[in-house]
Amino acid sequence: MSTAPHDLGPLEEFLEERLGLSRASLHLGADLDAVLRERVRARGCDDLRDYRRALDRPEIAREELDVLAGQLTVGETYFFREWQQIEACADIALPERLAARPDGERVTVLSAGCATGEEAYTLAIALHTAYPGLLPGRIRVVGVDVNPGAIQRARQARYSEWTLRAVPDDMRKRFFVRAGSDVALRKDIARLVDFEVKNLLDDDPAFWKPGAFDAIFCRNVLMYLAPQKVAELLDRFAGALAPRGFLFVASSESLRAASAAFEVAHTHGTFYYRRSDARHGRAARPPGDAARASAWVASIHESSARVAEVAQRVSPTPRRASATPRASATPPRGAAEARDRPSTRPPPPAELAAIDRALQLIGGERFADAMAALAGLPRRTASRARVDLLRAVILCQQGDLAGAARACQSALDAGDSGAAHYVLGLCQEQAGDVAGAAKHYQAAAARDPTFAMPHLRLGLLAKRAGDLTTTRDELGRAASLLVSEQQERLVLFGGGFPRATLIGLCHAELQARGGHAG
């Protein structure tokens, strides 16, 4: 029997207060009711109310939060994620901060919400490469996460092949070794990072002392927090950063509407933030920051409810392949299409709910759960093209390129307007077939002339090939189309970048090559 909303209310309030998770994110992925009822049984409590009363005891609350954090927080990540920000840290932040620190005083970079450690170790690899011999004596990398299990895995520094999908071959050879069916980080590199179990929302004056950190990475964390907790955490970061210190959040987590304590910076084709000059020490939060954060998070949650804002972020520059799909740019249509033609009736509510659920899970990077949410839908569904496209996106992200290609074929058979060709292009590019990728991007653009992303990819492919004329033409067209691009497609295929960032990147590339957007 399902739990009434009012039964979960007190526990949702407790989890929001102690873990910071918004009520929407508490129901993203894990079945909150099932998780809490399991904890009721494990604690020997009578019911949810009895369990909530038990959490008033500090020792029980600490133990339960350790367990719940592992079950309710998103921990999926990978090495070299949003590499442009890592390069900006190494090329811009570190030289400046090393110069600002007196001789012998360490520069400290924090990975906040580090999950299983991939981000923190990526920082260590990048900084060790750029500043050999300075880690850990002059440069310190620290990773913290609320999930004890994630920190334990981070300290082991052992990972699946899939987490290395964005790592260039030369970096794989230099910094990773085979460990059975897994790969392990070189021990001397693993020792460069200090990991600690820490709730970002807990007061710890010694850890968050003024000026303690020179750069903070907190990516794909803020989107899951309640508005007031976002404001509190940004205030904490601002106080703990050195003057003009650096804050890196996910490219989809713009702070312009969330905090006045930071100002935006742009280099290396990416955006990040600096602590504002107006901010000195642990001053009070600037007036209106809580309201800004509330509006910022509310906009994310509203968009999530509309589905468009929570779709999958396909990497704009995939590098590795686990299979090489070979699909025609114009897939054949025949008996299979007629046999599996979807119903023309409006989708029933249960079908729409399953799709919405899958999209939310994809937005939270819970790909296996998202696929499970779609698994119960019938083959002859009214939303077949959309469902098959979502399956293709999930499979592409999971590295099953052949499976993604089959799902794209099915989406095209069901009448997809061209987005499936775009995913096929991503698969081909990830498999190393640049010519095949270009054909699919061209097919996607031909099927839907308003689709901006194929032109962006074609422009970047031309840039790599040294074709200046095509680079200008395609990026100029992409910049023009991005102004009115569908929001759902931006989030599905924009690599996590918002509209303004993608347009800005096109303009930056055009300006560097003497061109302009039409």
- Please write the tens of the pLDDT for every residue from 259-287: 678 988 888 878 899 998 754 444 434 44
Picking from 249, 280, 299, the residue at the C-terminal end of a domain is 299
Helix (H, G, I), strand (E, B) or coil at 29: coil
Eight-class DSSP state of 57:
S
Residues 166 and 22 in one domain: no
Residues 439 and 396 in one domain: yes
Residues 130 and 275 in one domain: yes
β-pair partners for 193? 141
Note the pLDDT of residue 324.
Answer: 33
CA pair distance 109, 124, nearest whole angstrom? 10
Using only C-alpha atoms, the chain has a radius of gyration, in whole angstroms, of: 23
Which residues form the domain of 463? Answer: 449-518
Residues 58 and 95 in one domain: no
Longest dimension (CA), the chain: 74
Element (H, E) at 495: none
CA pair distance 256, 504, nearest whole angstrom? 16
Is 231 a domain residue?
yes
Residues 119 and 101 in one domain: yes
Element (H, E) at 480: helix 468-482
Residue linked to tokens 């074709």? 467
Residue linked to tokens 């995939």? 318
Tokens at residue 77, please?
């990540």
Measured CA to CA in angstroms, residue 123 lies from 140, 246, 399, 450 at distances of: 10, 14, 24, 38
CATH classification of the domain holding 379: 1.25.40.10
Residues 232 and 294 in one domain: yes
Element (H, E) at 477: helix 468-482
Residues 87 and 235 in one domain: yes
Is 478 a domain residue?
yes
Is 78 a domain residue?
no
Residues 270 and 196 in one domain: yes
Output the pTM of the full model: 0.61
Check: CB of residue 447 under 8 Å from CB of residue 408: no
Is 462 a domain residue?
yes
Residues 339 and 457 in one domain: no
203 burial level (CB within 10 Å; 0-12, 13-18, 19+): exposed
Low-confidence ranges of the chain (pLDDT < 50): 1-2, 5, 279-288, 296-344, 518
Note the pLDDT of residue 500.
Answer: 75
CA pair distance 250, 27, nearest whole angstrom? 22
Note the pLDDT of residue 254.
Answer: 66
Tokens at residue 415, please?
């009448």
Is 393 a domain residue?
yes
Note the pLDDT of residue 192.
Answer: 95
In the chain, the number of structural domains is 4
Picking from 444, 467, 490, the residue at the C-terminal end of a domain is 444
Check: CB of residue 241 under 8 Å from CB of residue 216: yes
Residues 161 and 284 in one domain: yes
CA pair distance 473, 463, nearest whole angstrom? 11
Distance of CA 136 to the CA centre of its chain: 28
Residues 398 and 260 in one domain: no
Q: Which of 403, 464, 390, 454 is nearest to 426 (CA)?
A: 454
Note the pLDDT of residue 455.
Answer: 94
Note the pLDDT of residue 339.
Answer: 38
Q: Which residues contact 140 (CB under 8 A, 6 or more apart)?
A: 106, 107, 108, 109, 194
Is 77 a domain residue?
no
Note the pLDDT of residue 337.
Answer: 41
Note the pLDDT of residue 269.
Answer: 77
Note the pLDDT of residue 422.
Answer: 93
Q: Which of 383, 436, 427 is nearest to 408 (CA)?
A: 427
- In order, the DSSP letters of 220-279 are S-GGGB-HHHHHHHHHHHHHHEEEEEEEE--TT---TTT-SSEEEEEETTEEEEEE-TT-
**DSSP-H helix ranges across 114-244:** 118-130, 148-156, 169-175, 187-190, 227-240
Is 274 a domain residue?
yes
Picking from 394, 414, 444, the residue at the C-terminal end of a domain is 444
Residues 368 and 247 in one domain: no
Is 204 a domain residue?
yes
Measured CA to CA in angstroms, residue 320 lies from 86, 163, 164, 424, 457 at distances of: 19, 11, 9, 15, 17
CATH classification of the domain holding 234: 3.40.50.150
Backbone dihedral angles phi then psi of residue 127, each to the nearest 5 degrees: -75, -35
Tokens at residue 517, please?
């957007």
Q: Is the torsion defined by CA of 118, 124, 125, 127 positive or negative?
A: positive
